[in-house]
Amino acid sequence: MQPDEFRRIGHEVIDWIADYRERVGDLPVRSQVEPGWVRSQLAPIPEQGEGFAGLLADLDRVVVPGTTHWQHPGFYAYFPSNASLPSVLGDLLSSGLGVQGMLWSTSPACTEVEQHLMDELVGAMGLPERFTGGGVIQDTASSAALVAMLAALHRGSDKWRQSGVDGDETVYVSSQTHSSIERAARLAGLGEESVRSIGVSPATLSMDVQALTDQIQSDVDSGRRPILVCATIGTTGTGAVDPVREIAEVCARHGIWLHVDAAWAGPAALCPEQRHLFDGLEHADSFCANAHKWMLTAFDLSLFWTAHPDVLVDALTILPEYLRNSATESGAVVDYRDWQIPLGRRFRALKLWSMLRWYGLEGVRAHLRGHVELAGLLESWVEADERWELVVPRSLSLVTLAHVDGDDATRAAMDAVNAEGSAFLTHTVVNGRFAIRVAIGAEATREHHVRAMWDALRSA
């Protein structure tokens, strides 16, 4: 494909994306196809190359019907995935440059734009000053959890890099912590038995600090070696917030790495009125927030900071001869290959930069605040309806509710709304009770969309 062909076809592709975004609200949120339908519609790979017309036609014929539309204004499931169009264009620019930014020398701009943005966001989000210089873009919060765990292992043992884990290490989560922490423990070679699940307060579903203290002491007394505690700001199930400051005090007494996972709620730190949720963060060793959830940036882009970049780099660095270069050996540059699991890395910062340049910080704050206000409206409607109730207090833009007649009624209402197609809801279980999660966060969602979803639930 020559540049003139790319220009012509690229216009067609952009037009297709723009048309899709204009009509996405008219499509069923969830795909209606049966398993295997998409594959049954696909032709063999052609022996001879062909133009893009057939591909674009197949997008309409096969891909759109086989897609659950995360950018739909009626998408309230899981957490949002804000692929704003400015960030999509930034992703296109990244792909067009075709950069492999594993080293500073392989693309100085790839590294330094990322450094600049990550340091700027420390101030914009009111994060601890100790995170300045310790920021890096990971692909997802799962990778962020894994690199935090590897850094914690390295700090906890001067022989870990050479001989691996001892088998006596322990990791602490609450019963509400995201499963990525347990998975990270498996990947790090610790195994499931190393993970301690700490109970939560029945009222707030936040980690019970006394139970954490007791479990750590019990492990220390039995010869185990506590490595990492994960505190969460905005749990997946209900948006619960762990008491970071109190947990940090426990970690400090035992020299344990504190990782704070705010994958969904983290962007709310851009709003000064929400920073009370992040109390105690200045004592954390690492922190992550997904820009690709609620911060208008196309998947995948997770913001990760550590107060100990030297420990992280020392844990992950390896320098074969073919990667040696004068810039690296000068010590004057950052090579982000040493801050992540893979060697290679995309120029992800471009889509973050594109988004921030388009919206500005005030635009992003308005996006976040608008969803919090919509969730507050929904909360008030639930409180005014005698047939429905809040299962836990609203957390930012997440509302967790249930029908007063019990689990069967709640599930039936959710299933009916999802089957109708204009909204998509998912569930959680709170203290044994089935509950609907309404995660308001799609960029296009407005009050009339939330009202329509609520009316559909009540009718169901």
User: Is there a single domain that holds both residue 243 and residue 386?
Assistant: no
Exposure b/e, 208-236, CB count within 10 A at least 16 = b:
bbebbbebbeebeeeebbbbbbbbbbbbb
User: Is there a single domain that holds both residue 248 and residue 366?
Assistant: no
User: Is there a single domain that holds both residue 398 and residue 312?
Assistant: no
153, 302 in Cβ contact below 8 A? no
Q: How far apart are the first and last CA of the chain?
A: 53
User: Is there a single domain that holds both residue 111 and residue 214?
Assistant: yes
Each of the 460 residues of the chain gets a pLDDT tens digit; together they read 999 999 999 999 999 999 999 999 999 999 999 999 999 999 999 999 998 999 999 999 999 999 999 999 999 999 999 999 999 999 999 999 999 999 999 999 999 999 999 999 999 999 999 999 999 999 999 999 999 999 999 998 878 888 888 889 999 999 998 889 999 999 999 998 999 999 999 989 999 999 999 999 999 999 999 999 999 999 999 999 999 999 999 999 999 999 999 999 999 999 999 999 999 999 999 999 999 999 999 999 999 999 999 999 999 998 888 888 988 889 899 999 999 999 999 999 999 999 999 999 999 999 999 999 999 999 999 999 999 999 999 999 999 999 999 999 999 999 999 999 999 999 999 999 999 999 999 999 999 999 999 999 999 8
Res 373: pLDDT: 98
User: Is there a single domain that holds both residue 373 and residue 238?
Assistant: no
Res 166: pLDDT: 84
Q: Supply the range of the domain harboring residue 25.
A: 1-30+68-84+359-460
Exposure b/e, 183-199, CB count within 10 A at least 16 = b:
ebbebbebeeebbbebe
Please state the domain count of the chain. 2
User: Does residue 91 lie within any of the structural domains?
Assistant: no
User: Is there a single domain that holds both residue 108 and residue 24?
Assistant: no
User: Is there a single domain that holds both residue 182 and residue 281?
Assistant: yes
User: Is there a single domain that holds both residue 283 and residue 135?
Assistant: yes
368, 124 in Cβ contact below 8 A? no
User: Does residue 62 lie within any of the structural domains?
Assistant: no
Res 320: pLDDT: 81
SS3 label, residue 75: strand
User: Does residue 45 lie within any of the structural domains?
Assistant: no
User: Is there a single domain that holds both residue 105 and residue 237?
Assistant: yes
Q: What is the CATH number of the domain that holds 266?
A: 3.40.640.10
User: Is there a single domain that holds both residue 158 and residue 292?
Assistant: yes
Res 455: pLDDT: 97
User: Does residue 382 lie within any of the structural domains?
Assistant: yes
Cα separation, 243 vs 212, whole angstroms:
12
The set of residues, in sequence order, having a beta carbon less than 8 Å from that of 321 and lying 6+ positions away, is: none
Res 126: pLDDT: 98
User: Is there a single domain that holds both residue 20 and residue 103?
Assistant: no
Res 241: pLDDT: 97
Rounded to 5 degrees, what angle do the CA atoms 403, 407, 411 make? 80
The set of residues, in sequence order, having a beta carbon less than 8 Å from that of 15 and lying 6+ positions away, is: none
User: Does residue 42 lie within any of the structural domains?
Assistant: no
Domain boundary among 319, 346, 373: 346
Rounded to 5 degrees, what angle do the CA atoms 333, 335, 341 make? 160
User: Does residue 396 lie within any of the structural domains?
Assistant: yes
Res 155: pLDDT: 92
Cα separation, 180 vs 434, whole angstroms:
23
User: Is there a single domain that holds both residue 331 and residue 205?
Assistant: yes
The sheet carrying 398-403 orders its strands as 388-390, 398-403, 433-439, 426-430
Q: What is the CATH number of the domain that holds 386?
A: 3.90.1150.170
Domain boundary among 320, 346, 372: 346
Q: Where are the beta strands (DSSP E) in 47-107?
A: none
Res 323: pLDDT: 85
Cα separation, 279 vs 172, whole angstroms:
20
Domain boundary among 346, 367, 390: 346
User: Does residue 40 lie within any of the structural domains?
Assistant: no
Reported pTM: 0.95
Q: Based on C-alpha coordinates, what's the Rg of the chain?
A: 23
